[in-house]
Structure formats: C-alpha cells, structure tokens
Chains A and B, each alone.
Chain A
C-alpha cells in the first residue's frame, strides 16, 4: 500500500505546483485557440481513418511486400522528429507550402501517423484474427457498425488522444513549417514563457492539459452513446 501511495504521489507531484497557482483565463489570441481545436479535430480524424484502415489491411494482406511495408510505416518512429522536421522543411519549401495550413497538417500527419498505426495494429492484435475473421463474414455496413466500431472504439479514442497530445507538444514543428504565421496554444505558451508572462503561461498550460482531458471524456461519452444506440438496434 505504501509503495502504491508513493508511486501515485511521484506521478502527481508535478501537478502540485500548478494547483497552487490560480489560473486566470487569459487568451491572447482567439486564432490560436481556433487553430489548435481545428488542427486537433482534423488531424485526429485523418489519423484514425488512415491508421485503422492500414492496420486492417496489414492484418489480412497476403502481399509479399507486407513485411517491408510494415517496416516502412514504423520506421519513422526511429527517426528523430526534429531531423524529419528539418527535411520536411526543405521539401515543403520546394513546394511552397511553408507558412500554410496544408504544410503544417502534412508535417503533423507525418509525425503522428506511425504512432497511430502502431496503436491500431496492437488493438487488432489484442482482439485477434479468429474473432475478426468472423466479422469479415458479415456484410460491410453491418460489420463496421455492429462489430468493428464497438470493438475498436477504445483504440480509436486512444489514437485521437495520442494525436492530440503529440500535436499539442509541437512548438518547433509548427513554428518552423508554419513560419510563425499559424499560432497555436503551444506556440503561445512558449512565447509567453520566453516573454516571462507568467499568467498567460499558466493559463496556456492549463489549457494544454485540459484539452486532452476534455477530448478523452467527450470521445468516451460519444462512443458509449453510439454503442448503446447500435445495441438498441439489435434488440
């Protein structure tokens, strides 16, 4: 019991200093907030969509390229993120995408997708081929609605959450690819910290912590509600 309490305390101690300070609701830029939410929603959606379909394909394909492609999609995990970012900066500069939303979205997708595919693959491995094989016998719509969605709703929630957290962690990427033209809560925090604006830094930190929490609860409620409705249709 003592060991457990100690571990829990060590994990929660960093929040202690945050709770000691009362946050003020200070947002310098509504654009930063809108950008953050917009990017989060779009990026999470694209990640869930691409990673789930790719993991599904990986599970069933008999292609002789399977192993090579599996390596290819996981390889970016082993490439330092900043190195990828420098290279992407050069590519996107060639294509004139620096300072654009598209450029930022592409870069964010590049750094988040390998993690998402990994989570999706693990989720499918846990459920296992035999059960999913049964699902394959069902017609497409019924398979998605009544089997795959309820089975993978937790995995999809985790993917969305991971994507959000990685996105919210990016200062260098958004600053470099966005050329300073696309402010987010993260870039604001960094600048407020660098500019010694304690109150703004604190309220931005709160926001960075609360956004994943809100997304988590929102997605949990949504997935439970959807699964309940789907189950109701089977009654």
Chain B
C-alpha cells in the first residue's frame, strides 16, 4: 500500500465534515475522490497536504505518518482550481523556486515537459488559463513530490481545454510513475482519469473500487447505456428507462487509453462507455438509463 487513510475525523463546530474516512491508494495509481459540495473531499485533501489538522485518525504514506510533518516537509504537492502562480516572479522563476536546488536547468526541463519551454521569461499575466495551469503543474512536479494532489484543477477551464489537460495530466502522471489523488465532483472526470475511485457522501466513504466497478454498481455512474440488442457483456446492470429516439454514433474517442472512452452521437450527446464494447461508427443505437442501485 502506498497511501493509507485511517479513520480520519474532522469536525467544524457541530458539523462532522469527515466521519471516520478509510481508504487506500495504491502506488503509481491515480485515485479519485468523488463527492458533491460539502461532502468533505476538499477537507480530506487539505488534511493530507498538511494545510489543515484532523481531530482523529492517521494518514500513512509509505509506512510513515504524514501527520508528523508540517506541510512544507511532506513532499506532497498540490494543483488547485486556480493556478496561483506567484505574480512577482516570471513563469520560469515560479518553477525554479520549486526545484530543490533552485536550478534553472531543472525548471527548463519541467517547462519542456508541459510543453511551455518557450515561456520561461514570460510574465504570469501573459499566459492563458490553460497555460497557467500547465505551469502550475510543472511547478508542482519540480518540487519532486512523492504524492501529487489534484484539487479540482480543471474547474475553471473551458470544456475543450479541460479534456486536453485531463488527458495530458493522466499521461504525464503515468509516465513519471507518480501517485496522484484527484478530488472532483465530476463523475465522468473521475471515470476517465482515475484507476480507482472512492465515493464520499456527507463525510463518509460509501464505496471504493475501480472505475468499472463503480460503472456497474454505483448510483449516478454510467447513467446511460447503449443497447442495440446486446447488453454490455460485462454488465450486471438492469436497464429501466429508454431515453429519446435511437441515435447514430458519430465518433469514438479513446482519449485516455484505458477502459473507458468517450462516444459522440448525433445531436451532440456524448456518453462515457467501456472502451471494450464494439460499437461502430455510423450505426444507430438506443440510449437507455440503468437502474440506480445504492451501494
């Protein structure tokens, strides 16, 4: 086990924000924590980062308790909703600051990794939102983290940029062999990016599993199924509702090179589905909704 969150509790005044959270994150995995606003997911991330304290429980990473160390000694870096690049520094200086030896060479390397090597001397305000987020990622990576925390880093981006960056970050994290914890309210984002997902509801873990397991068992995951005679082979799902008229499949996008892909249908509908299913472009399919089961 890599990261082990044990019976974590946190209370704000009379409100129990985290109520005995338990889950494990495997080494080199991208693990998503999914929950609605107020479910406690951001608090959980902040406790792991060392930005907040907990009332009880422990966070163990590679057999040492992270809680024994202040935030700046945990080697846990974070990518948040806003890039928060230090405005008095240039892009390159922002990244250099995070490197252990304050090395320009290393900073250039990380900017190269995020494909912004030509923006070393640019000022922060000259970058677009997506570029700023990429610099923020380079900066987080330059600090040589053992654990990367992603706190809804795609929230403020437009849909196209969001998809690009999701893909980019997943590939990068996998290439570098990092362990990452992603916090999001977006279930599709979790299914597409994460190897494993933990569902959080009102401060409690309701389910942990792979994206496929959640697709089949968790409420709200894989809302739509495409059925054309054959039910999805791996599915133990009960279909309850037919949605609209049959539609033609326009495009298959296996953006993340894993078990789920994005399917674009006529009329603009996009559906996240198992990549293993043999849907064919040009064929017409009927969209159905699966039965909600509570885990």
The answer on direct contact between A and B (beta carbons under 8 Å) is no
